[in-house]
Amino acid sequence: MTSTLNTDTRLGWIGLGSMGIGMSKNLQKYLAASGAPPLSYTNRTLSRGDGLKALGGVPYETVGGVVANSDIIFTCVSNDQVLNSVIDEVLASGSSGSLKGKIFVDSTTVHPETTISVAKKLTDAHAEFVAAPVFGASAMAEAGKLIFTLAGPESATSKLSPYLVGVMAKSIIPMGEDVSKSTLLKIAGNVIVISFMEVISEAHVLAEKTGLGSQILETMLGDMFGPVVYSYSKRITSGAYAPPIDQSAGFGVDLALKDVRHALRVASENGTTLDALEAALKHMQRAKAFADSLGGRPLDSSSMYGAIRRDAGLDFFSDAIKARDASL
């Protein structure tokens, strides 16, 4: 899947959440450096894209405006409902045949049925669709180090390569033409990531309750399991599981809950269970309920740690969080 950059191709972006903003900025930087047309973009709150505009991106008030001025359109929104709403707006904005030849690339984590439905809507309108969910949190999106799982017709995926590795991605996992397979891989990956967070959280609470201490446990995790597991541990020990009230989480608990429910539904539909994920769901739900009882505050998916702490008779907020918040 390789192609050279066509500097006449116009790109568009819909959705500037915690992932989309970093991805779109990297894409606009690449387009500007390549002499290609600037990235068109829109978002429910358009001011969210001010940083992208400063890099040369061109804002549009509507989805239809972006689509009309783009050949390849990326979507990266929060959930299935929002994605369906965006695609319906896309279809409503055009006249018969106006989408012919356009490529839509979706990086939203959704249920496979949603991916199939969206693909059909767009292909029926003579557009092409590529499912492109990504692995990596917002920091990796900012750094251009995401892993893309790509599925769709080769005629479309072949045109995307100039914009992925070295721009938004560190690598691509090709998944063939069945768009649901890409979404399924993303769901399977989330099972692993969220289950890791559950197990690591439990181990840290055990270390604190027994007097072993989190620092030595974290050293062992890094030495034995490598930088990925170590980074998950750091989300706990740094206090990132409950960011300051005025900051966003790296992987918000609401998005994680949505992803967990998708995974559990897929498992049930296929006659299997995900017990570790069930435990993670329960703990994330408790964490969110606790934060809501305090008037609400941003929580990361790793906030399950706070709920497990409370179950063990500890405060939801670690000493690291208390010290950090006291200094703000």
Q: What is the pLDDT of residue 93?
A: 85
Q: What is the pLDDT of residue 249?
A: 86
Show the CA angle centred on residue 213, arms to residues 201 and 306, nearest 5°: 30
pLDDT digits (tens, 9 = 90+) for 21-76: 999 999 999 999 999 999 999 999 999 999 999 999 999 999 999 999 999 999 99
- Quote the CA–CA distance of 281 and 286 in Å, as a whole number: 9
**Is the alpha carbon torsion for 189, 192, 196, 202 positive or negative?**
positive
- Quote the CA–CA distance of 144 and 163 in Å, as a whole number: 11
What domains sit in the chain, N to C, each tagged with a CATH number? 11-177 (3.40.50.720), 184-327 (1.10.1040.10)
pLDDT digits (tens, 9 = 90+) for 171-193: 999 999 999 999 999 999 999 99
Q: What is the pLDDT of residue 167?
A: 98
Q: What is the pLDDT of residue 2?
A: 54
Asked if 27 contacts 50 with a C-beta cutoff of 8 angstroms, the reply is: no
For the chain, the first-to-last Cα distance in angstroms comes to 48
In 3D, which of 192, 131, 130, 143 has the Cα closest to residue 169? 143
C-alpha distance from residue 324 to each of 39, 71, 240, 242, 321 (Å): 38, 46, 10, 11, 5
Question: Residue 81 has which token pair?
Answer: 């409902």
Residues belonging to the active site: 186
Contacts 24+ apart (CB under 8 A), 90-95: 90/63, 90/64, 90/122, 91/121, 91/122, 91/125, 92/64, 93/62, 93/63, 93/64, 93/67, 93/68, 94/64, 94/67, 94/68, 94/125
In 3D, which of 54, 37, 45 has the Cα closest to residue 77? 45
Number of H helices, E strands in the chain: 14, 9
- pLDDT by position in tens, the chain (length 328): 456 788 899 999 999 999 999 999 999 999 999 999 999 999 999 999 999 999 999 999 999 999 999 999 999 999 999 999 999 999 998 755 689 999 999 999 999 999 999 999 999 999 999 999 999 988 899 999 999 999 999 999 999 999 999 999 999 999 999 999 999 999 999 999 999 999 999 999 999 999 999 999 999 999 999 999 999 999 999 999 999 988 888 889 999 999 999 999 999 999 999 999 999 999 999 999 999 999 888 999 999 999 999 999 999 999 999 999 998 7
Asked if 117 contacts 88 with a C-beta cutoff of 8 angstroms, the reply is: no
Give φ, ψ of 16 to 5 degrees.
Answer: -125, 50
Q: What is the pLDDT of residue 95?
A: 57
Q: What is the pLDDT of residue 233?
A: 97
Q: What is the pLDDT of residue 138?
A: 87
Q: What is the pLDDT of residue 5?
A: 81
Sequence-distant (6+) residues with CB within 8 A of 295 are none
Other C-beta atoms closer than 10 Å to the C-beta of 20 total 26
